[in-house]
Amino acid sequence: MNFASDNVTGVAPEIMDALARANETVAMMPYGADEITARVETAFAELFQHEVAVFPVATGTAANALSMSVMCPPYGAIYCLEESHANADECGAPEFYTGGAKLVAVPEVEGKMTASALDARLAGRGPADGVHVVQPAAVTITQASEMGTVYSADDLAALGETARKWGLKLHVDGARFANAVAAGNQSPADLTWRAGVDIMSFGATKNGAMAAEAVVVFDPALAETLGFRRKRGAHLFSKMRFLSAQLEAYVKDDLWLRHARHANSLAARMATALDSAPGVELDYPVEANEIFASAPKAVWQKLQAAGFIFYTWGDAERPSARFVTAFDTDDQHVDAFAAALK
């Protein structure tokens, strides 16, 4: 019963079938010149109700780092949260792909960046800083956030407005974008370009793909050099059709949203069970598929001894734990978790 992450999962059968079907055609043109990749671009344009350029890659880190490379020069600053994946978990890939840009932390509220915190971070900067400081270039936020909360379209529109005020590009790390869309009734368009998002990392691996993510570009100017950067960054797959086949199946017939609704609903059930257990406190509102809670260490130890797998960290006596549900999480494992907690 593994709640450690949503990448402990396997591959959705629909996506395995799509890979097998892609394999039936013996030869297809390489490097993205195939018909499946062309169909993905059309499917994503429909999904986002906007012209987009789509660059499939195999990891979220590549999607993030490539996105940042087109938003920010080597002497630029990218505003992010301290705990964002880009800042904390990518081994410097954004810095590497941008040729040395600086990631600058903005304080978080419930795992999210607010427009006012971003504004405050930028206020007071100006031409007088001259050549001595990195130049503000971009903002990156994560949707759903690393703490399992979700930015509303209004949150994003406020961030978009602040980004524009300071001349910054806005990027969304959408490793769990499906969970954010499934969490409310806001469309992919509302949560991206309509709110001023210029470019995003569109995740699929955590929600049913084998290994497929995409850089989705709403601002055509940002797409101009991305193809070169992807190749130079060694993420241009010669058999691109197999990444594209995953992405096509992922969005077909709303598979991605059905998966995310399942994960989110099980997270809500786990959160209710945790919230009603004595001594357990939820650390963040549970709005997507990740739950953070703190409790006396014995609570977590007993659950782990009972066979539940999850990460803990922080305070030695009262650690925090993270539980992640996914598209294939078994309802019965969640029932067993609730029973064990009792």
Ligand X SMILES: Cc1ncc(COP(=O)(O)O)c(C=O)c1O
Using CB under 6 A, list all residues that contact ligand X. 59-61, 64, 85, 142, 146, 173, 175, 205
| Residue in this structure with the two tokens 């059968």, named with its chain if needed | 13
Q: From CA 183, how far away is CA 177, in angstroms rounded? A: 10
Q: Which is nearer to ligand X, 60 or 136 (CB)?
A: 60
State the nearest-atom distance from the C-beta of 148 to ligand X, in Å. Answer: 11
> Toward ligand X, which CB reaches closer, 65 or 72?
65
CB-nearer residue toward ligand X: 69 or 299: 69
By beta carbon distance, the residue nearest ligand X is 60
Max intra-chain CA distance, the chain = 62
Tally the C-alpha atoms within 13 A of residue 270's C-alpha that lie toward its C-beta: 32
Closer to ligand X by Cβ: residue 64 or 325: 64
Query: In this structure, are strands 311-313 and 320-324 parallel, antiparallel, or unpaired?
Result: antiparallel
Q: Which is nearer to ligand X, 63 or 251 (CB)?
A: 63
CA distance 285 to 331: 21
Distance in Å, CB of 59 to ligand X, minimum:
4
Torsional sign, CA 215, 219, 223, 229:
negative
Q: What minimum distance in Å lies between the beta carbon of 5 and ligand X?
A: 7
Question: Is 120 in a helix, a strand, or coil?
Answer: helix
- As given in the structure block, the two tokens for residue 175 are 């490793």
Four-point Cα dihedral 222, 228, 231, 234, nearest 10: -70
Write down the least CB distance from residue 1 to ligand X, Å. Answer: 20
Q: How far is the CB of 15 from ligand X (least distance, A)?
A: 16
Measured from the CB atom, the residue of 33 and 91 that comes closer to ligand X is 91
Q: How far is the CB of 175 from ligand X (least distance, A)?
A: 3
SS3 311: strand
